[in-house]
Amino acid sequence: MEPPQTEPLDVDRIRSDFPILEREFDGTPLVYLDNAATSQTPDQVVDAIAHYYRHYNANVHRGLHQLSQEASIAYEEAHDRVAEFIGASGGREEVVFTKNTTESMNTVAYAWGLSELGPGDEIVLTEMEHHAALVTWQQIAKKTGAEVKFVRVDEEGYLDMDHARELITDDTEMVSVVHVSNTLGTINPVSELADIAHDHDSLIFVDGAQSAPHVSIDVEAIDADFFAFSGHKMCGPTGIGVLYGKEHLLEEMQPYLYGGMMISKVTFEDSTWHELPWKFEAGTPVIAQGIALAEAIDYLEDIGMDRIEAHEEALAEYAYDRLSEFEDIDILGPPGDDRAGLVSFNLDSVHAHDVSEILNSHGVAVRAGDHCTQPLHDKLGVPASARASFYIYNTREEIDTMIDALEDARELFA
């Protein structure tokens, strides 16, 4: 896949917004290549959090005083900003703030799944799903009697779309698919899957945790019924996630978290729910985090999502090519020119945890393990893998540092 033809990023300028990247360990500079787990946070976002706490810290939607009014406006406008970012024309009514992608998935699974699913119904996932989706729908199926089926992943790391067409039938009620695999780097054809699902009157949930931080998202062009992502992977704070849902679906769904803020009227006998999106945001919400997420979106869009995508794809292809130079390194997933900004790999006869430890001694931070995709690793016949994942502040020189560190691992375990 040819990367977009865009002006390259000014990485040196971007890096100046991230003081953590200046850290050294015993004189060794930090090389942070674990962005698929959590990205770093620029000063602008940290400042937005501090500004909230220093100047208008108050609860929202429950006070008439000035601070509460200011906080409420900023929190509501953060929903508007997210809706604009993902192309949700319904605005804030279609944007629910959660703690993370996992909570977004659980919100739909419980608020929709428990009432809509039953024996004879099917949920279609893929073999590359993150545990956030796989475990959630697996357990909902156990509670409802529905059956979970999995679209195969082929030897190159792509979805078997012929198999998808076989599995998705009129018995399918939900298709849940990861937009970008956090292990393989595969970019899935979610619009095509949405068309197949809708042809069978099924809904589709797109896990955008690894796509929303890196590419332009248009949930309406995808025709996703639900879409979810997390702030901490896109220069935002931890503790904030987003659930997009088509307005008519969210209107029909009953909340599964109850308490303050999400109610309209309460008597000793019964309760009614607040309007969207607040009926799904029980209790004191993620105020500072939501405001900071809006600031992170501003930061990314000032850089340009097309430029971010091109930068990361170029880094992934370069890393793939460098790793491919070695016969004793096995790379998981599609070719280097057709993947998102991450590369998972294994060094022959060396456990991924040991590889990670050696890289860490060189200041290189990568992820090692099953990346919350245990069944996928089982299918691939490997217990774990090391994963290097890239973002706006990473460089080719940092990838070269990782390659040099792998030489040490190779010598140590020879």
According to DSSP, the β-strands at 147-151 and 122-126 are parallel
Kindly report the length of the chain. 414
Residue 227 β-bridge partners: 206, 244
Q: What is the dihedral of CA 123, 126, 132, 136, to 10 degrees?
A: 20
Residue that has been written with the tokens 């393989």 in this structure: 184
Cis amide prior to 189 (ω within 30 degrees): no
- Between CA 68 and CA 368 the distance in angstroms is 44
CA atoms within 13 A on the CB side of 265: 3
Which residues neighbour 371 within 8 Å (Cβ) at sequence distance 6 or greater? 36, 182, 183, 344, 377, 385, 387
Angle at the Cα of 299 from the Cα atoms of 296 and 301, rounded to 5 degrees: 110
Which of 372, 392, 406, 409 is the catalytic position?
372
CA-nearest of 259, 242, 238, 240 to 250 is: 242
Burial class (CB in 10 A: 0-12, 13-18, 19+), 214: buried
8 Å CB contact between 99 and 146:
no
**235 in active site:** no
| Residues belonging to the active site | 372
